[in-house]
């Protein structure tokens, strides 16, 4: 089934930025067969929501925003879930039936998409979604934390483990610390026993990166020399989401045979790459998006073992415009969460 947002919801209505996302009331219906209706307690924003609000994703309005949500089961058509269960949403839209989905490769589904972009989103009172997207909420997390980790931790987990095959004791550089995936990557790399370095243009964010586990943080303008010095010759893995502005510096930060894994490109869609560095350095350039349901389960297991998200700030749903403006200004470190209470 296609995800469905009901009741009070944050709806993208006009591609004019944060002001084009407004609170609306949507009709409530019974859950379709195969679906679970979740009374959302908290949802969180991603850069995706901001791009959507600016019209950059070419998603036609209206659309209820947000991929991340956690809440209490309100009604379920599947025996696995019953009213009162505390749950969190796997933020991927997929068919669950094709050969790729059956093989556990949800990211390769022909209908692959992101909740809140390719379907209704979680910033709503009542969210209906396929029961296969529903997972038990980690007990150790608050509602705000449970809404803060899904998309970014899933993305960073796949980047570091499945794609870059990070090993304990290796060294990782996370470029552009502050963004949700970058913060998740710092936390996950530390959790997996790696040494972590970070970059940011902001002194305050470099400081925050150190507080959450990076051992050194450098300015994003020019960092490869400092990274090679601090790491004793270069890092094994670079987590990239910035793109053209940093990609060559990222590649210069790697040891021979190192891997740069890319999940986004916030500074533009086309990058110029110094080709000799790629082949002479025996580098791997890896692309990655979101993650499979099994990888989501692996994140949940890691949370049970102590991994924690980083919440930047919590606002009530009706302050969604101010929450989006915080992302627009690039002020956040970690996740901006919307609370459904009040
Ligand atoms: Zn499929």
- The pLDDT assigned to 70 comes to 98
Calculate mean pLDDT across residues 68-97. 97
Average pLDDT over residues 306-320: 97
Mean pLDDT, residues 196-205: 96
Q: How far is the CA of 99 from the centre of ligand 1 (A)?
A: 7
Q: How far is C-alpha 318 from the geometric centre of its chain's CA atoms?
A: 22
**pLDDT at residue 342 greater than cutoff 60:** no
User: Cα–Cα distance between 109 and 26 in angstroms, integer?
Assistant: 29
Mean pLDDT along residues 170-196: 97
244 with 272: CB under 8 angstroms?
yes
CA atoms of 342 and 315, how far apart (whole Å): 10
- For residue 211, the model assigns a pLDDT of 97
Q: Which helix (H) or strand (E) holds 335?
A: strand 335-339
DSSP letter string over 91-152? -EE--S-SHHHHTT-GGG-TT-EETTTTS--SSEEEEEEEGGGEEEPPTTS-HHHHHHSHHH
Per-residue model confidence (pLDDT) at position 1: 84
Q: What is the mean pLDDT of residues 132-136?
A: 98
11-68 tens-digit pLDDT: 999 999 999 999 999 999 999 999 999 999 999 999 999 999 999 888 899 999 999 9
Structure confidence at residue 144 (pLDDT): 98
- The pLDDT, as a whole number, for residue 98 is 97
CB atoms closer than 10 angstroms to residue 302: 20
109 Cα–ligand 1 center, Å:
4
Q: How far is CA 267 from CA 6, 32, 230, 270, 271, in A?
A: 35, 41, 26, 9, 9
pLDDT at 146 over 70: yes
Both tokens assigned to 196: 């972590």
In this prediction, residue 68 carries a pLDDT of 98
Closest CA to 7 of 74, 83, 88: 74
pTM of the model: 0.97
Residues with CB under 5 A from ligand 1 (ion): 94-95, 98, 101, 109
Do β-strands 195-199 and 254-262 pair in parallel, antiparallel, or remain unpaired? unpaired
CA of 104 to the centre of ligand 1 (A): 9
CATH 3.90.180.10 residue ranges for the chain: 4-149+309-339, 153-287
- 116 alpha carbon to ligand 1 midpoint, in Å? 18
CA 95 to centroid of ligand 1, rounded, Å: 4
Q: How far is the CA of 146 from the centre of ligand 1 (A)?
A: 26
- Mean pLDDT estimate for the chain: 97
Q: Which CATH number fits domain 4-149+309-339: 3.90.180.10, 3.60.150.10, 3.90.1010.10, 3.90.226.10?
A: 3.90.180.10
Name the phi and psi angles at 281, rounded to 5: -85, 0
CA distance 258 to 42: 38
| Cα–ligand 1 centroid distance for 194 (angstroms) | 34
Question: Strand pairing partners for 64?
Answer: 11
Quote the ligand 1 centre to 113 CA distance (angstroms).
Answer: 10
pLDDT of amino acid 40: 98
The CATH number of 153-287, from 3.30.300.30, 2.160.10.10, 3.90.180.10, 3.10.180.10, is: 3.90.180.10
């Amino acid at each position: 089934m296609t995800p469905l947002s009901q009741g009070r919801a944050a709806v993208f209505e006009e591609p004019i930025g944060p002001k084009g996302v407004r609170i609306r009331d949507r009709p409530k219906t019974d859950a379709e067969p195969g679906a679970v209706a979740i009374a959302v307690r908290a949802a969180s924003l991603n850069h995706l929501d901001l791009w959507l609000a600016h019209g950059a994703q070419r998603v036609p309005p209206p659309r209820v925003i947000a991929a991340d949500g956690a809440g209490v089961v309100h009604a379920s058509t599947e025996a696995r879930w019953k009213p009162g269960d505390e749950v969190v949403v796997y933020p991927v839209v997929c068919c669950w039936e094709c050969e790729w989905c059956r093989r556990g490769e949800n990211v390769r589904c022909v209908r692959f998409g992101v909740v809140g972009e390719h379907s209704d989103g979680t910033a709503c009172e009542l969210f209906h979604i396929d029961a296969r997207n529903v997972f038990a909420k980690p007990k150790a997390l608050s509602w705000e934390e449970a809404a803060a980790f899904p998309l970014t931790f899933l993305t960073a987990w796949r980047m570091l483990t499945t794609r870059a095959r990070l090993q304990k004791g290796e060294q990782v550089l996370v470029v552009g610390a502050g963004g949700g995936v970058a913060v998740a990557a710092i936390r996950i790399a530390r959790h997996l026993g790696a040494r972590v370095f970070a970059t940011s243009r902001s002194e305050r964010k470099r400081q925050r990166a150190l507080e959450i586990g990076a051992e050194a943080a450098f300015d994003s303008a020019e960092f490869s020399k400092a990274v090679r010095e601090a790491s004793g010759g270069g890092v094994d893995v670079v987590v990239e989401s910035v793109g053209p502005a940093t990609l060559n510096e990222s590649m210069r930060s790697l040891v021979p045979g190192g891997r740069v894994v890319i999940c986004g490109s916030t500074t533009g869609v086309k990058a110029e790459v110094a080709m000799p560095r790629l082949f002479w350095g025996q580098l791997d350039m890896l692309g990655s998006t979101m993650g499979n349901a099994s990888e989501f389960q692996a994140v949940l297991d890691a949370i049970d073992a102590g991994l924690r998200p980083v919440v930047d700030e919590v606002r009530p749903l009706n302050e969604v415009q101010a929450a989006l403006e915080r992302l627009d200004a690039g002020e956040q470190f970690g996740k901006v969460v919307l609370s459904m209470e009040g």
